[in-house]
Structure 1
Amino acid sequence: MASTDEFLAFAHELADLARTAIRPLFRAHDAIEVKSGKGSRLQLVTDADRAAEAKMRDAIGRRFPGHGVVGEEYGPDNPDAEHTWILDPIDGTKAFVAGLPVFGTLVGLLEAGHPTIGIIDQAITGERMWGAPQGAWLNGDQVATSRPANPERMIVAMTEPDMIRTASGRAAFQRLADQALFVRYGTDCWGYAMLAAGHIDVVVESDIQPWDVLPGTAIIAAAGGTASAWDGRLPGSNGTVLAAGDPALHAAIVNHFPDTDA
């Protein structure tokens, strides 16, 4: 069986492959397909999404044919395998379509259902964040989460302000926002990355899929933080996530949220 170092090196190879598919198509005005929804529920897909995921899946199939794959564009393949790769070729497709280099490619590895390796890669700027059991790094520099001494200095992140569906969920988030220094929206995967790097203290999201969150939460855990669904289970398991750089802060916040946003 491959070692953690070998799996991490392969995850970097997958992110490199995704870059080769994405870079030529950035700001290329290619066709955009609307998969579903409107507003914050709008789901888009581009040729770059499909090409990047196809390259990564092909590489996994050749190197580790017994491994599972769960990806945004092509669905699950053997998802209950002992080792399962989680792929989101472009997290932040709206940013990609708008020509803004604030999207990311997500690569993660689940071992026995537990996220152990994660990568967040920006194909245009070259920024890369990764985490594994031995720690977390941003562009080669090891990083760690923050421990805010004063809750009034918290920086909170969320991708879209209306992604929370229920009145109870919105009320819980508003209570948190009222305590914070400020809330930053529009972060997509980089909210998780910057939480791991100690620049953001809390990320709250809803209406998400496992591929949106599991790679990022592997990095957060490697950097010393904690992430879960609102009910305390695996992040994204019921479409929600609450992550904090300080495990004690996470424990204090999570009980103020409803178990679900359904």
Structure 2
Amino acid sequence: MTSIRRLALLVPLLTLCALAGLRAAHADTLGDIRQRGKIVVAIDLNSPPFGMADDKLKPYGSDVTAAQMLAKDLGVQLEIVQVTGPNRVPYLLTGKADIVIASFSITPERAKVIDFSLPYSAADSVVAGFASTPIKSLADLAGKRVGVVRGNLQDTLLIPLVPKGTTMVRFDDDATNAVALLSGQVDAIGTAKELVVETARRNPDKHIETKFSVKVVPQGIGMRKGETALKVWIDNWVTVNMKNGRLGESYQKAAGTPLPDLSAYFPR
């Protein structure tokens, strides 16, 4: 990675860290939520099966269900603000949302800037393409155009792994990334396996399939650093609802497949 590229990646991170520092002096979001009687949750509604909107623009999906359950258990109203992959952290740090439930993969880079709850969900990061495209492994991406969502997990995962000659093409959200594949702008896409299933279901004539898995990564509820009371409450809520199966049921209903085993992340 060149020094210019490192600087380009570092500047946004430093900016976000500065924003986090400015908000650290006021760290009682849980109290604020209870006082106003409403929690503002950022959700990506272009990320099936986690977040979607129907033809009447009503949100649905496993992340939406999780947000609805959380708000109900907290005893407050739910307000959803729509985000994309790249603006999830900025929305959180600038106070446009209290928390983020948006297929938010837990990564060391993000954990430097925000806090995550215990995992409530997970995504199998994969490379997908047309059945007719001869891709079976990373080596087969050489000479191919691969679409990813800018700054998303698959982007950061694939950068150090793809062979020389691979062209990474970045888009603003999962929906645009999928359209790029369907329209032939790219040869393959890095995405969540759950999104491949949904894209294939909606476009059966395109014969979209998962080519290979890159990594299964847990997803957490994002919150600003220093929010000790909020983190304790949410971690407890996640633990209870993983144990009683409500979060697993919500995921399976939306994704059509069981939630990956996340027991290793919880105290025994």
TM-score, normalisation: structure 1: 0.30
- Higher percent of residues as helix: 2
- Higher percent of residues as strand: 1
TM-score, normalisation: structure 2: 0.30
The structure whose Rg is larger is 2
Structure of higher RCO (CA pairs closer than 8 Å, 6+ residues apart):
2
